[in-house]
A and B are shown apart, each in its own frame.
Chain A
């Protein structure tokens, strides 16, 4: 409760500042979509008013969430319905369902906009789906409980992490075959390429670290560790990783420690821990890299972090167990 109050005070202070700032530089308004795992809904947030403007009803257990390249469609992994649900990103109407293989959790698009690569958490597979013909193109066997999906900016390499195998699998997207497996710390959750494609950051939830790999050689460049005063190390569980396009900052969601770490992406040093809601997992930056949205599973809210100020500015109540988040450029 104390934390909510603090955020409230921050929000009040910053609302004033934001209004002044808004007068100077008109802030872009974006739509931010948040999947609520235990409510079977997606909350739509307006990034300017920081309020929920709409709630979309989905199938069972919505988790991974993303937009098509043309931003017309919103895609949601409805894990317990074993499919991908497609919604119109502007009218919020249900368009169709895509096959996904069992228990889809997270996915990544080829940068050309098609196909879609889906991690099937329950079935040790990555499923490749054509989103226009609605056909499964190929299934790639990976480790136990695949989850994280990182696509290289040039579309040549897909990195999938498997939670119980503790590996980052490097997949050649031309042959759809694994060409390298890199052991990382326990329970890797998310793989994220840097904007220039030179590095892959892999978070390890139980290991408590983020491993930075050089994409070309798969060699470890750094292992980022986290330490928060007064928080038991076991509660520091890195999951979501996002980086600003200018390559300056990385953000790491630290699960039940209720913090997001801000990391200098050049030196790999943690510069700050921002207190957010409870059990923070996934993150999304607005297209202008000014705001970061965090999904706080057990406090049922989303925290908004001002990237420049490195501060939490608001908590927004969404649905039960917010899981995934994506920001649209409109």
Chain B
């Protein structure tokens, strides 16, 4: 029996039983050279070693494609981006996959491809895919992602987008060979908006930065406002020209400029800041003209992960990460971890390293992963987006987790976050 021969209807309890039998048979053959441990006819598992060299061990390469993108320094020293942001998550997931792989005769190998030039990055990844690699986790700019997806179209490979929140990648520009472990902007903005609805903080004063991604984030917030009955009562564009926290006297400048920029606005409950590059947003809390909370990309924000999370068994997860990488786990690390673990989970369940087998399995409703979110996570079958609860948090500690219990859904409450099936513009997944 091969894994690929299973149809959906066969994947039932009895099928699982047959799979277990198949595994027992495989294991018996694989461990035949080991001394028998007990009368039961079973043998001890092989110890961990350089798995690639071992006979019978399936090697599953996973590529991490990192595009080096120039970024401005953050306002706060605490927000300095680690050089191995994302890579730390990949390393942990590979370790986690291999601990399980030891029992499955599967060895996961991380192959990092890094470049500042998108064309060179795509060429390097394409060469590796042509050589047999089937899984690519991408932390790249949106346009690079699309070009990479098109370069790999028709090949037995799947890309996990772990870095780009852009809704268009899941919607009008969606690709059948791309999954998204990173939450979309609309999921992040819905997570915040749901909590605002629960708090009845309905009147929003929206401040938008100058950069294109700030406009996209603002667009997501406008959509969420409409969706959850909020009202944007005032909107202003913030052109970054104030002094710097770092410069002597910088804070005095900021203290003057932020309130004067915000004054004479319509009555509002919250100030919503759209500043994805984080070049001015953190200047807003405690400096507003009216005493109002700040939400958005600064103040209270939504994210897939936070280094203070201890919910849902998160403590062990955070500890493992810190031991391995000597730093806190970021949201990008988490999104990469989830992508790499998706491959591991599929490989375990299908007992296979074959990209096509695993890719088709990941598209079925049977596929689910546990990712320290207190419930199973699955991929939306209409655009490849990972469903997940999102943290609504301050820089220090989470305030709540969305979706909020007040928002119900006919299929999954997690689909109250982001663009839902009836409104999707993605056609690539339609057969």
Q: Which of A16-24, A139-147, A240-248 is the contact stretch?
A: A139-147
How far apart sit A235 and B414, CA to CA, in the bound complex (Å)? 13
Interface residues of A (CB under 8 A from B): 103, 121-122, 124, 141, 143-145, 156, 162-167, 169-170, 172, 174-175, 177-183, 186-187, 205-208, 216, 218-220, 223, 232, 234-235, 237, 256
Q: Are A177 and B376 in contact (CB under 8 A)?
A: no
Contact (Cβ within 8 A) B376 A186: yes
**Contact between chains at A186 and B320 (CB < 8 Å):** no
B100 to A, closest residue via Cβ: A165
Chain B neighbourhood of A169, CB < 8 A: 103
**How far apart sit A145 and B320, CA to CA, in the bound complex (Å)?**
10
User: Do A186 and B369 touch across chains, with their CB atoms under 8 A apart?
Assistant: yes
Q: Mark B329-349, 1 if CB is under 8 A from A, else 0.
A: 000000000000000010011
B370 beta carbon closer than 8 Å to chain A: yes
Chain B positions within 8 Å of A234 at CB level: 374-376, 413
Interface majority SS (helix, strand, loop, mixed), chain A? loop
Known contacts A141-B48, A206-B376; A179 and B40 CB within 8 A of each other: yes
Q: Are A220 and B313 neighbours in the complex by a CB distance under 8 Å?
A: no
Q: Give complex CA distance A170, B349 in Å.
A: 19
B23 contacts across to A, CB distance below 8 A = 183
Chain B residues, CB < 8 A from A178: 44-45, 103
Instruction: Tell me whether A183 and B20 are in contact in the complex, defined as CB-CB below 8 angstroms, given that A143-B99, A167-B100, A223-B13 are known contacts.
Output: yes
Is the Cβ of B99 less than 8 Å from the Cβ of A165?
yes
24 residue pairs A–B, Cβ–Cβ below 8 Å: A122-B319, A141-B47, A144-B96, A162-B99, A162-B100, A163-B313, A163-B370, A164-B96, A165-B103, A166-B345, A166-B370, A172-B37, A172-B44, A175-B37, A177-B44, A178-B103, A179-B38, A180-B40, A181-B45, A183-B23, A208-B376, A220-B16, A223-B13, A235-B375
Query: Nearest chain B CB to A16's CB is how many angstroms away?
Result: 37
Residue of A nearest to B99 (CB): A144
State A2–B368 Cα separation when bound (angstroms): 35
Contacts of B349 in A (CB 8 A): 183
- The complex places the Cα of A29 from the Cα of B173 at a distance, in Å, of 68
Chain A residues, CB < 8 A from B376: 186, 206-208, 234
List the A side residues contacting B374 at CB < 8 Å.
Answer: 206, 234, 237, 256
Contact of B42 with A179 in the complex, beta carbons under 8 Å: yes
- Indicate if B112 sits at the interface (CB-CB under 8 A): no
Q: Is the CB of B47 within 8 A of A175?
A: no
Interface of B is mostly: helix
For the complex with contacts A122-B316, A234-B413, 8 further pairs of A-B residues with Cβ separation under 8 Å are A122-B319, A141-B48, A156-B38, A183-B23, A218-B20, A219-B17, A220-B13, A223-B16
- The residues of A that contact B20 with a CB separation of less than 8 Å are 182-183, 218-220
Which residues of chain A come closer than 8 Å to B24, judged between CB atoms?
180, 218
In B305-358, the 8 Å CB interface with A consists of 313, 316, 319-320, 345, 348-349
Q: Which residues of B22-44 have CB atoms within 8 Å of chain A's CB atoms?
A: 23-24, 27, 37-38, 40, 42-44
Task: Determine how close the nearest CB of chain A comes to the CB of B14; give it in whole angstroms.
Answer: 9
Pairwise interchain contact B368-A186, C-beta atoms closer than 8 A: yes
Q: Mark B366-378, 1 if CB is under 8 A from A, else 0.
A: 0011100011100
Q: Which residue of B lies closest to A182 (CB)?
A: B20
The CA-CA distance from A180 to B20 in the complex, in Å, is: 11
Residue contact A167 to B316, C-beta cutoff 8 Å? no
Query: Hey, which chain A residues are within 8 Å of B313, CB to CB?
Result: 145, 163, 187
**Which residues of A lie under 8 Å from residue B48 when comparing CB positions?**
141
Closest 7 CB pairs of A and B: A177-B44, A179-B42, A234-B375, A165-B100, A206-B370, A186-B370, A179-B37
> Cβ of A164 and Cβ of B370 under 8 Å apart?
yes
B-chain residues with CB within 8 Å of residue A170 when the two chains form the complex? 42
Q: Which residues of B contact A183 (CB under 8 A)?
A: 19-20, 23, 348-349
Q: B266-301 interface mask toward A, CB cutoff 8 Å, 1 = contact, 0 = none?
A: 000000000000000000000000000000000000
Contact indicator B103/A167 (Cβ below 8 Å) = yes
| Structural contact, A172 and B38, CB atoms closer than 8 A | yes
B171 to chain A, nearest CB (A): 26
Query: Please, which residues of chain A bring their CB within 8 A of the CB of B319?
Result: 103, 122
Name the residue on B nearest A221 (C-beta). Answer: B17
| Residues on the B chain within 8 Å of A218, using CB | 20, 24
Given A175-B44, A207-B376, are A181 and B103 neighbors across the interface (CB < 8 Å)?
A: yes
Complex alpha-carbon distance, A169 and B37, angstroms: 14
A172 to B375, CA, bound (A): 33
Q: Using CB atoms, name the residue of chain A closest to B349.
A: A183
